[in-house]
């Protein structure tokens, strides 16, 4: 079904987008158009077999150009990062609504057959996430609405846009709520990195520098689940190929504390570090996990790559990048 389509990936210069373009090509999709607003040399990954376009999708004309002649759209483009970034750049995160809105308008105009939107677990009601011993979040827990300020509101609004474009105009939209995607080729420094990459970098720095210390944001007791990028790309394809019209979780249900995440990174590195807790740093909600009941019912599948396996691959890649950088 997928390989017969002309496919557009928005945000292809980003972490998930770059992996997804490679996934599509591996699956045998002959026509893949990859679009991002960054110059090509700044893309996390760039696949020569795809049609690679540099275009600002916050502009409607760029969206019209990008969607012309394609059958399926994967809208992964957003201005985002880890907790530090979304805490300090709420307006930038909200401006991603221009991309999602203009992409929906252009997809309708150009008669796109199917449209996938990557939402986030940040849409969930904050009152459901106050305890580290969190009850896994069900899809209905997004309402009454109290999402992450800025980033979460934009995601929830864009989910509703997808719903109404389907109901009012017949555009076949699909929405998945990603839970903390990580893996190689992702941002690991500079302020946009997420917890798994940040922890790996800090452990590697401590090992290289011999400082024997790591700073952890918050008290380390906050809980999360983390989804390896290969599970994300597989699930994303399955979503758009399915008949599922309501937003569903796409995430691992392997819940760990941030302290346990550090434990795993230390074990991979073969070190044991002194932990310094920065209680004034952004740490997000106290607990968040994915309830996978509905995705199992609807797809007969859920993300299954264990955190230890995925983090080992992520650690090895970040370490190689840091060692190359130190040689330079």
Residues acting as catalytic residues = 151
Nearest to 7 by CA among 82, 54, 66: 66
For the chain, the 3-state helix, strand and coil shares in percent, each to the nearest 5, are 45, 15, 35
> b/e per residue, 39-49, with b = 16+ CB within 10 A?
eeeebbbbbee
Give the Cα separation of 328 and 325 in Å (integer): 5
Give the residues across from 276 on adjacent strands: 215
Assigned token pair, 247 = 């937003």
> b/e per residue, 275-286, with b = 16+ CB within 10 A?
eebeeeeebbbb
The answer for residues whose C-beta is within 8 angstroms of residue 300's C-beta and 6 or more apart is: none
């Amino acid at each position: 079904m997928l390989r017969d389509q002309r496919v557009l990936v928005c945000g292809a210069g980003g972490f998930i987008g770059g992996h997804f373009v490679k996934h599509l090509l591996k699956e045998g999709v002959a026509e893949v158009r990859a679009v991002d607003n960054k110059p090509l040399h700044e893309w996390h990954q760039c696949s020569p077999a795809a049609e690679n376009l540099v275009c600002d999708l916050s502009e409607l004309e760029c969206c019209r150009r990008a969607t012309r002649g394609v059958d399926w759209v994967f809208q992964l483009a957003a201005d985002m990062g880890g907790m530090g970034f979304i805490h300090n750049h709420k307006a930038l995160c909200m401006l991603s609504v221009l991309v999602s809105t203009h992409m929906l308008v252009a997809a309708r105009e150009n008669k796109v057959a199917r449209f996938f939107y990557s939402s986030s677990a940040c849409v969930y009601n904050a009152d459901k996430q106050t305890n580290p011993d969190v009850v896994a979040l069900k899809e209905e827990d997004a309402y009454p609405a109290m999402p992450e300020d800025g980033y979460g509101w934009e995601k929830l609004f864009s989910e509703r846009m997808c719903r109404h474009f389907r109901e009012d105009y017949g555009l076949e939209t699909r929405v998945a709520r990603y839970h903390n995607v990580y893996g190689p080729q992702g941002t690991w420094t500079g302020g946009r990195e997420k917890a798994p990459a940040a922890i790996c970098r800090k452990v590697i720095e401590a090992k290289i520098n011999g400082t024997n210390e790591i700073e952890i944001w918050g008290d380390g007791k906050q809980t999360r689940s983390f989804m390896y990028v290969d599970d994300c790309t597989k699930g994303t394809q399955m979503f758009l190929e399915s008949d599922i019209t309501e937003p569903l979780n796409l995430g691992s249900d392997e819940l760990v504390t941030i302290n346990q995440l550090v434990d795993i990174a230390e074990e991979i590195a073969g070190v044991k570090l002194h932990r310094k807790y920065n209680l004034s740093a952004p740490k997000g909600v106290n607990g968040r996990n994915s309830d996978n009941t509905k995705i199992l019912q609807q797809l007969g599948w859920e993300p299954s790559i264990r955190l230890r396996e995925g983090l080992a691959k992520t650690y090895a890649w970040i370490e190689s990048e840091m060692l190359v950088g130190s040689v330079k």
